[in-house]
Amino acid sequence: MDNRDENNKDIVIENEEKWIDGLNRGDVSVADEMFDPKCEFYITGSQKSVGLKEFKEQVQKDLANFPGRHFDLKEKIIADDKRVFRWAATLKEVPILVEGLIIDQVENNKVVKRWEQWDQPALDVFKGLAMYKEYMGKENEKKLAGLREFTINHLYANVWSRIEHLSIPERSMITLSLLAAQGRNEELKSHLKGALNSGITSDKILEIMIHVAHYAGWPAGNNGERVAKEVFKEIKPENKKRTFLFCMLVKDGQVEDFDKWLGAHVQVTREKDEGCFAFEKHQFVGNDRIFILYEKWQNQSCLDKHLDRMKNEGLTAEMLKLLDDTRTFDISGW
């Protein structure tokens, strides 16, 4: 093997180590350096490949759902144009070890094809917990045993996750109708909270109950409306989730410094701040001075505590020194 092959080998290993480090910091920007723009990704359980943009979006979504996830690179095998890596991930949110293999096809030091094989039982737990959190707006608090285990590992992992066929709000409205028609009040209460968290308005839910009354009987529709109004009283405005886009224009010549500062801030926020469902950093493609934070918080109180921490630790002042302008867009009702 000549020196060029050795250098290529070192570059590939270095890039993979950067990728793992980026995942642990909640930063996927190294993907643009590591993967070819036309790279194809084949992931366990998927019937077709996805592109780089879709892959990055999915990774960012997973990191937002599980900010306490930590990756370790265990083994590396390199032969010709193929690279094989074995990795393991632990989750702070639930005591589970997820292991997997990555196979990369490399051309000119860029990954052009990637195959990811996950431990399927562990993957089902991972997918199920992530989907439950996205729908319900909170962590699963019940022990994964008995029927609850199947609820998370199958129902949420393999049915609710089929969003390419029916979106989460669509599945939620179907579920509300079925539970109301059957008079399953406890389950209906739980799914009403999930529906509200998914952006289904109270007016739309009451309209669903009118529909139920005409197809499943007046008592069923009337009971569903009564249960819904009870849930509406429980979920006060201050307890509703808050979702924002925080747009920042960085001062000329400060982009690199701000990028590093923001990456560290994102990681600390995900690990430290209670009620943070999503805290994702994006950089505008057409103008690298524009950064966007996508933030989703459990409620206003959690958001206020985050802002207070930033102010008390001097982070707000640090940030403003690097910025020319900021804009905040409240998209909580979208």
CATH number of the domain that residue 31 is part of: 3.10.450.50
- What was the pLDDT predicted at 334? 59
Backbone phi and psi for residue 291, each to the nearest 5 degrees, phi listed first:
-115, 145
Cβ neighbour number for residue 328 with a 10 Å cutoff: 11
Judged by DSSP in three states, 111 sits in strand
- Among 292, 289, 300, 237, smallest CA distance to 266 is for 292
pLDDT of residue 194: 92
Please tell me whether residues 61 and 83 are part of one structural domain. Answer: yes
What confidence score (pLDDT) does residue 333 get? 59
Residues 6+ apart with CB under 8 A from 112: 36, 38, 39, 40, 105, 106
SS3 for 206?
Answer: helix
Question: Residue 289 gets which letter from DSSP?
Answer: T
Q: Starting at the edge strand that comes first in sequence, how are the strands of the sheet with 323-330 ordered?
A: 276-283, 290-297, 242-250, 323-330
Can you give the pLDDT of all 334 residues of the chain as single tens digits? 444 455 566 677 788 888 888 888 878 888 888 899 999 999 876 668 899 988 988 888 777 767 677 888 888 888 777 888 888 888 766 667 788 889 999 888 889 999 988 887 877 887 888 888 888 877 777 777 888 888 988 999 889 988 888 999 999 999 999 999 999 999 999 999 999 888 788 889 999 999 999 999 999 999 999 999 999 988 765 567 788 899 999 999 999 999 999 988 988 888 888 888 888 999 988 899 999 999 988 888 888 899 999 999 999 999 999 999 999 988 875 5
How many of the other CB atoms lie within 10 Å of CB of 14?
12
Token pair of 22 as six digits: 């980026």
How is 147-200 classified by DSSP, letter by letter? HHHHIIIIIIIIITT-TTTS-HHHHHHHHHHHHHHHT-HHHHHHHHHHHHHTT-
State the pLDDT at residue 94: 66
For residue 193, CA distances in Å to 32, 161, 190, 279 come to 38, 18, 5, 22
Residue where one domain finishes, among candidates 79, 98, 118: 118
The structure tokens listed for 103 are 């196979």
Q: Examine the domain organization and report whether 206 and 304 are in the same domain.
A: no
pLDDT of residue 1: 44
Residue-wise pLDDT tens digits, 174-202: 999 999 999 999 999 999 999 988 878 88
- Helix ranges (H only) for 95-155 are 120-136, 147-150
Cβ atoms of 106 and 112 within 8 Å: the answer is yes
DSSP string, 18-38: HHHHHHHHT--TTHHHHEEEE
Asked if residue 257 and residue 153 are part of one domain, the reply reads no
Check whether residue 20 and residue 40 sit in a common domain: yes
pLDDT of the residue at 159: 94
Q: At 256, which CATH number? A: 3.30.70.100
Looking at 238, 254, 277, the residue that finishes a domain is 238
pLDDT of 32 reads: 87
Q: What is the pLDDT of residue 2?
A: 47
Give yes or no: residues 97 and 156 share one domain. Answer: no
| Domain carrying residue 298 | 240-330
Measured at the CA of 278, the angle between CA 232 and CA 307, to 5 degrees, comes to: 85
29 Cβ neighbours under 8 A, 6+ residues apart: 22, 259, 263, 283
Q: What is the pTM of this model?
A: 0.59
- Judge contact between 216 and 228, C-beta under 8 A: no
Last residue of a domain, one of 100, 118, 136: 118
234 and 259 belong to one structural domain: no
Domains identified in the chain, total number: 3
Handedness of CA 36, 34, 267, 85 (dihedral sign): positive
